A and B are shown apart, each in its own frame.
Chain A
Amino acid sequence: MEALGIWIRSNRAFLGFVVRFLVTFFLLSFLYSLYLVVVKRNGDLDMVTYWISRLSHETALFMGVADCEWSCFLDGCYVGREGRMVNILEGCNGLRLAIVYAAYVIGIGGWTWRSLVQAFVGLFVVQLFNVVRIGSLIALRDHGGDTYFFFIKYIFGVFIYGSIVLLWILKPRIDRWMGAK
């Protein structure tokens, strides 16, 4: 028992991170799941998937995809040229990944205003990366075959996960920029 107490004391900093991370993660996940239940009960599509697909459609148009179509149903949205559409489901909207990002930021920095601002802004930054990723995939699908599409999908998959790790790496700099000692 004493050994456990010593172990907890010597690893207090990391255990504090785990507790803050999990509390934030479960709280945000619970709120999002609750929202999805309400939306499903009302027979609607969730607004995150709707806006991600809509902005991805705009990005694809901006990248020069002619005749780019966009249609949403209860289970997700379809964006792209007829016959080469990309299916954007709730799981593709990147919000659960953004929740993990926010939980890490609060886990490391605690429930301070700096962490909360970073977590909030980070949610939008991660979504921005996701919109660029999906928009680019829609645009690039028109230009290549299946192997090319696989390669691009892989690179852009790493891109969205890498963006989260990059934001975590930049966190100490952002803290200093926000006035932390």
Chain B
Amino acid sequence: MDGGQIVKARSFWLWSIGFLMLSMFVSIVVGEEKHALGFDPLGIHWVRNLYAGIKIALGLAYVRIVGFNWLWVAGLVIFALVVRTFAEGTFTVALIGAAMAYRTLARN
């Protein structure tokens, strides 16, 4: 497979856990703001775009850092966005899953 030179197991898991924790932090800050403000800040157009942009940028950085080339980075992020379109809150886990699947299948 030609996705790139994936980092060693230890680095892969550290980056994956780090990405999961950072992405969750962003989501929970937004969720808590919703309670504090009394309305959903994601209802505001630019806030929603900024939030989506941050999540996608984090995802792009994660798959690039673990070693995928840019073509595969784009493909994996599109895959995660498709999954997230039909199941809210699954972008991060779908992206980690796709990277894990590549690593597992490339090893076999």
Per-position binary interface string of chain A over residues 86-130, scored 1 when its CB falls under 8 Å from any chain B CB and 0 otherwise: 000001000011011000100110000000000000000000000
Per-position binary interface string of chain B over residues 1-34, scored 1 when its CB falls under 8 Å from any chain A CB and 0 otherwise: 1110000000001001100110011011001100
Are B82 and A22 neighbours in the complex by a CB distance under 8 Å?
yes
Interface residues, chain A, with chain B CB atoms under 8 Å away: 7, 10-11, 13-14, 17-18, 21-22, 25-26, 29, 91, 96-97, 99-100, 104, 107-108, 150, 153-154, 157-158, 161-162, 164-165, 168-169, 172
> What residues of A have a CB within 8 angstroms of the CB of B96 in the complex?
165
Cα-based distance from A14 to B103 in the complex (angstroms): 9
Are A14 and B102 CB-contacts (below 8 A) given A29-B87, A99-B87, A150-B28?
Answer: yes
Are A14 and B16 CB-contacts (below 8 A) given A25-B83, A96-B87, A157-B24?
Answer: no
Are A17 and B87 CB-contacts (below 8 A) given A7-B2, A158-B21?
Answer: no
Q: Among the interface residues A17, A150, A153, A161, which one has the most CB atoms of the partner chain B within 10 A?
A: A161
Cα-based distance from A67 to B90 in the complex (angstroms): 35
> What residues of B have a CB within 8 angstroms of the CB of A172 in the complex?
104
Are A96 and B88 neighbours in the complex by a CB distance under 8 Å?
yes
**Beta-carbon nearest neighbor of B35 in chain A:** A146
> What residues of A have a CB within 8 angstroms of the CB of B32 in the complex?
150, 153
> What residues of A have a CB within 8 angstroms of the CB of B3 in the complex?
11, 14
Interface: B53 (CB within 8 A): no
Are A13 and B97 neighbours in the complex by a CB distance under 8 Å?
no
